[in-house]
Structure 1
Amino acid sequence: MAPKVSPAANDFRSDTFTTPTPSMLEAMANSSVGDDVYQEDSDTNAFQAEISRLTGMEDALFTLSGTMGNQLGVRIHLNQFPHSVLCDYRAHVYAEEGSGLAVLSQAMVTPVHPANGLYLTVDDVKKWVTLGDDIHTAPTKVISLEVTIGGVITPLEEIRKISEFARAHDIKIHCDGARLWNASAATGHSLADYCQYFDSVSMCVSKGLGAPIGGVLASTKENIKRARWLRKQLGGGIRQAGILTSAALVALREVWPTMKTTHERTKKLAKDLEELGVVPQLPVETNFIFIDAKKSNINMGVLLEQCKKFNVKLMDERISLHHQISDEAIENLKLAIAEAIKITKTLPEGYVSNAEKGGYANNAKMNGSD
């Protein structure tokens, strides 16, 4: 059985570090053992049916990761190149998935810097979309929106505007909803409220939801039929998938309802850090805080050294909270940051920390995707 205190209790690197709960492990031990390649596993079928119900989509497909769900979700809409995908320049589907769009979909990508610095708007889309049949171009065939991105929620009204523009120009719209659960918990909008504006939605169950493995893609029955075929091609047609989907069902019931509390704890931490002089890069709306190290006068190498001293884990300028973070860890993180601010003020010009000497590279890109 899982320990009462998760190994992730002090881990602020990402909500991907969440670990299975005892009830998840119990469900896995007692899961159905049908063959999902032949769609004969009852737990997997039940999980997919529940996702279909929650999203309002016709059908759903379990995937081995959010990355697999994204790549399948885009690829099912692309039939004949040349074609391009428009997305935020920070988008996981573009920046963090091993050039999957180029390799798997042979797609050009139009990475866009949102004018508001937070999320894509319909004006951004109109400015950068490629329309028409000019033979010099790769027409935009898919717009991919990430919700949330950097922990920031794209307003539902803005999603509606982008969706209406896309559909008016025969462009498909995909949602990287790895943390759509968080957006729903924060706004009170249902998954179906969001998903009505998308042609496909990929969601992750192994981040904030805390299940051990996997994601899920929701779309039309026709699209999911094709995605199932493509999933098999990628080696994702596993047999006893119920061992994994049973844990995901528990996560839906037990962890998703805790996200609102996680968001409240994150905002409280952000307020406490601001009192120490920490300046955030982005508004704190869900479970992420991005430290602006320069404006906060924090040497990140020193901060990482202090985190080790105070027994908390941090990877870069992003602080990620999840349901297994302990109160003790939050207090220790605040102590580490306060000490790092104090030490930074005494550093000589050109100082290089031991963390930097060891190869630390600040790779916080405000995308908050992993």
Structure 2
Amino acid sequence: MIIDLRSDTVTKPTEGMLDAMMSAEVGDDVFKEDPTVNRLEERLAKMFGKPKALFFPSGSMANQTALKLHTNPSEQVICDKYAHIYNYEAGGASFNSGISCHLIHGHRGMFTASQVKEAINPDAFYYSQTTLVEVENTTNKGGGACWDFDELKKIKTVCDDHNLGYHLDGARLWNALVEKGETTQQYGDLFDTISVCLSKGLGCPIGSVLIGDEEVMKNAIRVRKILGGNMRQIGYLAAAGLYALDHHIDRLKEDHKKARDIGAVLSELSIISKVEPIETNIVIFELESHVDESEFLQQLLNKDIRIISMGSNKLRMVTHLDYTNAMHERLLDVLNDF
């Protein structure tokens, strides 16, 4: 039994999801003639109270498209130093959009409205023009932390006061919604554009969707084409997304509980110096300085347990749909033996 906790992207489609995919009605999406894709886009747009939604092969492409839609070359986006758009999208902000990132030193990937206000460049020709604020919820490098919604509203006020766009990287927004009891409509009311992932947490093999207001989204399909993201009969993939929305959101609570169980065991181990607060499905912990990280990882591998290193003796586990109760009990037993 291999226990893979490297990410919530390692899941495989369930039997029900595969059935939905194989029975999907498809067409040519470049001509907007794939009925299943159209249905998924319409459903997500309605969920967030937005007029437009567009299917993408990846979350990075959806985010990169959003950056392009909100900015012009030489401009600047405000984001946290831990932001996915800065750390894990291969420098796409500069490569695709010709923009720079003003990094905020927040707390676990989250910052305040006052920090945003301070990060806005002066209105002088020799400064890069600030045009966008980007938020990630939940925060990946912040250990699956959920933003305080009141703070997000305060940031929105700053954006409105300074004519800034407001984009949400909602790769794991579903986890935040379940944990905090918030709604998609609340987020749709707040942000100009929102990207949501269908593979992280929801178990789809591929797919993200960019959702937004009419004016900012009007060139989204053009940018997707430029980035090579136009596809043909992708209703098979969209069907997986529709199935996930029906069956895989509420169960995220199970992933959160298992993550907290893991954190509780790790906190009792003498070889662990720190476990980050656990709110959703990500567990980040740090080994004591005398513990060899490579050796620790190898010991887990020898027991068919895969986790990921974040460097500097920090490690990450992510619970997910394919992490069963039996796997959970096995992992806790192994950890208790350290």
Give the structure-1-normalised TM-score: 0.85
Alignment of 1:190-205 (within 5 A): 190-205=183-198
Match of 1:141 among 101, 120, 131: 131
Is contact 1:59–1:219 with CA below 8 Å preserved after alignment?
Answer: yes
Alignment of 1:8-87 (within 5 A): 10-78=3-71, 80-87=72-79
Aligned mates of 2:109, 2:266 — CA distance in 1: 21
Match of 1:121 among 104, 112, 116: 112
1:96 aligns with 2:88: yes
The offset of 1:298, in angstroms, is 4.1
Aligned mates of 1:170, 1:221 — CA distance in 2: 17
Residue deviations 1:119-174 (CA, integer Å, cap 9, x gap): 11112212222141x12211211111000003000110010001110111000010
2:312 match: none
The offset of 1:224, in angstroms, is 2.6
Is contact 2:265–2:335 with CA below 8 Å preserved after alignment?
Answer: no
Is contact 1:143–1:171 with CA below 8 Å preserved after alignment?
Answer: yes
1:291 match: 285
Structure showing the higher strand proportion among its residues: 2
Aligned mates of 1:220, 1:241 — CA distance in 2: 24
Aligned mates of 2:307, 2:192 — CA distance in 1: 36
Aligned mates of 1:225, 1:31 — CA distance in 2: 28
The offset of 1:117, in angstroms, is 4.4
SS of aligned partner of 2:219: helix
1:345 match: none
Classify 1:152/1:250 alpha carbon distance in 2 versus 1 (closer, same or farther; 3 Å). same
Aligned mates of 2:11, 2:122 — CA distance in 1: 42
Equivalent AA in structure 2 for residue 302 of structure 1: E
**Which structure 2 segments of 5+ residues have no match?**
310-314
Residue deviations 1:2-34 (CA, integer Å, cap 9, x gap): xxxxx9x71100001111111111111111121
Is contact 1:152–1:282 with CA below 8 Å preserved after alignment?
Answer: no
SS of aligned partner of 1:17: coil
Residue deviations 1:84-103 (CA, integer Å, cap 9, x gap): 01101111111111111001
The offset of 1:81, in angstroms, is 3.2
Aligned mates of 1:82, 1:233 — CA distance in 2: 19
Aligned mates of 1:117, 1:210 — CA distance in 2: 25
Q: How many residues align?
A: 329
Aligned mates of 2:66, 2:240 — CA distance in 1: 23
C-alpha RMSD over aligned residues: 1.7
Residue deviations 1:209-254 (CA, integer Å, cap 9, x gap): 1101110000013333310111111111111110110011111111
Is contact 1:205–1:215 with CA below 8 Å preserved after alignment?
Answer: yes
Residue deviations 1:281-333 (CA, integer Å, cap 9, x gap): 421000011012137x6432122112112211112201100121022322333
Is contact 2:28–2:232 with CA below 8 Å preserved after alignment?
Answer: yes
Aligned mates of 2:151, 2:68 — CA distance in 1: 24
The offset of 1:275, in angstroms, is 2.5
Percent identity, aligned pairs only?
A: 33
Aligned mates of 2:39, 2:16 — CA distance in 1: 18
Is contact 2:83–2:109 with CA below 8 Å preserved after alignment?
Answer: no
Match of 1:323 among 321, 324, 334: 321
Equivalent AA in structure 2 for residue 285 of structure 1: E
Aligned mates of 1:197, 1:60 — CA distance in 2: 16
Is contact 2:108–2:145 with CA below 8 Å preserved after alignment?
Answer: no
Classify 1:304/1:34 alpha carbon distance in 2 versus 1 (closer, same or farther; 3 Å). same
Give the structure-2-normalised TM-score: 0.93
Classify 1:59/1:311 alpha carbon distance in 2 versus 1 (closer, same or farther; 3 Å). same
SS of aligned partner of 2:79: strand
Aligned mates of 2:246, 2:92 — CA distance in 1: 32
Aligned mates of 2:273, 2:251 — CA distance in 1: 27
Equivalent AA in structure 1 for residue 36 of structure 2: D
**Which structure 1 segments of 5+ residues have no match?**
1-6, 342-370
Residue deviations 1:321-360 (CA, integer Å, cap 9, x gap): 0121022322333344344x4xxxxxxxxxxxxxxxxxxx
2:210 match: 217
